[in-house]
Amino acid sequence: MQRYIALDAFRGLTIALMILVNTPGTWSHVYAPLLHAKWHGLTPTDLVFPFFMFIVGSAMFFAFKKVDFQLDAPLAFKVIKRGFLIFLIGFLLNIYPFTGDPDTWRIMGVLQRIGIAYIFAAFIVLLFRQRGVLITSALILVGYHFLLMTVGEGAYTLESNLVRQVDIAVLGANHIYGGFGVPFDPEGLVSTIPAIVSALFGFEITRFISQINDKRDSMIKLIQLGFLALIAGLALDFVIPINKALWTSSYVIYTAGYACLTLAVFVYLIDIKKYEKPVKPLLVYGTNPLFIYVLSWVWVASYNFFPVGDGTIHHFMFNSLAIVFPEKFASFLFAFLHVVFFWWCSKWLYERNIFIKI
């Protein structure tokens, strides 16, 4: 089956960005573009997770094409098993190193959302043809908006939104992310519903470009779709705020536009201009995406096991950089060095044909 190198490069870029934004030297000193928007609005960092959902959908296309998109009992079991394993790994990352109080364990998270969205998106693309997938996606986005509006005034506020209310009722306030000052999980149960569409978008865009033989035509179509989605997302923002934490319908569409434009850039560089060598590091980075993401999380969390002086090896490494560089740049450099290190890990696995799949 033909592979699309531009998609592989896009996947590698996404993993590199996830590590970059998740591993600063200190959260007290981070450049603004590397932080999430506080509530409404968008920063470059807010593009990373929907890009990840995009590559999940893209991978589904190639996986299910091998079975001609035919659903049977063994495949259904495999889909559910994989989604459950991804969810479980995400939960285990939350509670690592397993020394915290179970009464405060956070249930949801990035991989948990991916696991749930993967299962639902997989069954949608296997049960429906392309038109059905698109109609289902539209119904989800429209329905999600009206679902949020059922709480009335304050539907898109931090304190009163339905996502928060459901999570508190189902999971309990102690099992929800607290970084917003109140119990609110940016990877909540209800807000995972529109994330399914982000994966479906990746699936359908991959199906779309796989049907176009001329790469220049693919690039033009991606640019057109990208700008159309950006305009639609911005127009919807007047009614439905672009909000990553709530994964609003406008956010899904708007970030989809950026995904199209980013992929168009890679199609231009790789398929049209044949600049494969400069993007080879990204291709390597994308070969074990989930494993490298998990490894980076465990690696950084394990720094707490190694005390140095009055702190940990994490503090020692950052403080060593902060002696030489301004604190914000030192924090960025700390994260960038981790990007380089985990690229080396990816390269080591790639050169030995080791591909770890869940």
Q: pLDDT tens digits for 119-136?
A: 999 999 999 999 999 999
> Is 358 contained in some domain?
no
Full residue range of the structural domain in which residue 104 is found:
5-351
Condensed to tens digits (0 to 9), the pLDDT of residues 47-84 reads: 999 999 999 999 999 999 999 999 999 999 999 999 99
Interval 109-114 mean pLDDT: 97
DSSP 102: G
Backbone dihedral angles phi then psi of residue 307, each to the nearest 5 degrees: -70, 140
DSSP structural state of residue 272? I
Confirm whether 111 is domain-assigned: yes
Residue 13 lies in a domain: yes
* Residue 276 backbone dihedrals phi, psi, to 5 degrees: -75, -35
Whole-model pTM: value is 0.94
Q: Do β-strands 311-312 and 307-308 pair in parallel, antiparallel, or remain unpaired? A: antiparallel
Give a yes or no: residue 317 inside a domain: yes
Asked whether residue 357 is assigned to any structural domain, the reply reads no
Say how far apart CA 102 and CA 183 lie, in whole Å: 17
Question: How far apart are the C-alpha atoms of 102 and 165, rounded to whole Å?
Answer: 21
3-class secondary-structure state, position 42: coil
Residue tagged 């403080």 (tokens) = 319
Q: End-to-end alpha-carbon separation of the chain, Å?
A: 21
Residue 282 lies in a domain: yes
**Of 44, 48, 37, the residue nearest 13 (C-alpha):** 48
* C-beta of residue 304 within 8 angstroms of C-beta of residue 312: yes
Beta strands in 247-314 (DSSP E): 307-308, 311-312
Q: Compute the average pLDDT of residues 330-339.
A: 97
Structural domain count of the chain = 1
Q: Is residue 184 part of a domain?
A: yes
Instruction: Classify residue 356: in a domain, yes or no.
Output: no
